[in-house]
């Protein structure tokens, strides 16, 4: 498949195929949530590693999470502060979340709005997508568009040279991941581009 233009990429996504596009952190592979198993097959990914949901806006996330009005108010506050951005929130999942996204059935789901205009433009055309980094499982994230196309020959990959005149987009660092706790606090699961100190002082 190799490199494709924007409209072709959207067509493949809306046909429930896995696609690849850049984000503000590392490039992603993505598919409609109900077809998340395709990512596990493509990446040879262990089923105990959940995917995250990525959306163009906070409003699109709400149907995939469940909580009290007070909890959602706190979630909205942190999202307003850090989104779009490199912070993944792990929240209680609603029954709309496919078991394919989190095969461990933990009852949670990671959600994020990326801080890259082209990524949000794609997501605005596809709706919420199940995503993870573009690489074979156990290998470092691939940062260059053409390398993604070589690693996954059958994968539609956005031609970033055409869209942004760049072969590499994103800072190469993963997002920080924080999980909501029942006592109203946040637990940092992975330190990424949002610093640990910043997260602790502002969450």
pLDDT given for residue 161 in this prediction: 65
Task: Please say if the pLDDT value at position 191 is more than 70.
Answer: yes
Spell out the residues 6+ positions from residue 152 whose beta carbon is closer than 8 angstroms to its own: 20, 29, 42, 134
Task: Identify the band that residue 171 occupies on the pLDDT scale cut at 50, 70 and 90.
Answer: confident
Q: Which two tokens stand for residue 13?
A: 């996504």
Question: For 85-94, 161-170, 179-188, which range has the lowest pLDDT when averaged over its residues?
Answer: 161-170
Do 180 and 75 form a contact (C-beta atoms < 8 A)?
yes
Q: How confident is the model at residue 184 (pLDDT cuts 50, 70, 90)?
A: confident
Cα 61 to Cα 27, 93, 115, 128, distances in angstroms: 21, 10, 16, 8
User: For residue 178, how many other CB atoms are within 10 A of its CB?
Assistant: 26
- Class of residue 145 by CB neighbours under 10 A (exposed 0-12, middle 13-18, buried 19+): buried
For residue 196, pLDDT beyond 50: no
Residue 1 pLDDT: 58
Summarize the confidence of residues 137-154 as an average pLDDT.
Answer: 90
**Nearest residue to 156 (alpha-carbon basis) of 178, 134, 127, 138:** 134
- Domain annotation for the chain: domains and CATH numbers: 3-202 (3.90.870.10)
Q: In this model, does residue 77 exceed pLDDT 50?
A: yes
Residue 146 has pLDDT above 90, yes or no: no
Q: How much is the pLDDT for 201? A: 45
| CA nearest neighbour of 151 among 160, 163, 142 | 142
Region 80-85 average pLDDT: 92
pLDDT of the residue at 10: 98
What is the pLDDT at residue 162? 61
- Number of other CB atoms surrounding residue 200 within 10 Å: 11
Mean pLDDT of 90-99: 92
Q: Which two tokens stand for residue 119?
A: 């990524």
pLDDT on residue 195: 67
């Amino acid at each position: 498949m190799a490199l494709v233009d924007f409209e072709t990429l959207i067509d493949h996504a809306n046909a429930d195929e896995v696609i690849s596009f850049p984000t503000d952190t590392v490039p992603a592979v993505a598919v409609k949530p109900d077809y998340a198993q395709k990512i596990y097959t493509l990446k040879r990914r262990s089923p105990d590693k959940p995917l995250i949901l990525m959306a163009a806006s906070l409003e699109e996330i709400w149907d995939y999470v469940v909580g009290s009005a007070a909890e959602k108010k706190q979630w909205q506050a942190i999202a307003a502060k850090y989104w779009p951005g490199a912070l993944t929130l792990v929240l209680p999942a609603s029954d709309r979340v496919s078991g394919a996204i989190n095969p461990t059935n933990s009852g949670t789901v990671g959600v994020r709005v990326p801080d890259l205009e082209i990524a949000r433009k794609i997501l605005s055309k596809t709706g919420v997508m199940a995503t993870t980094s573009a690489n074979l499982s156990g290998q470092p994230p691939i940062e260059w568009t053409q390398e993604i196309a070589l690693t996954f020959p059958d994968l539609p990959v956005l031609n970033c040279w055409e869209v942004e005149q760049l072969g590499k987009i994103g800072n190469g660092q993963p997002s920080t991941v924080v999980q909501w706790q029942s006592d109203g606090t946040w637990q940092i699961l992975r330190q990424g581009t949002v610093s640990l100190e910043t997260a602790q002082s502002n969450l």
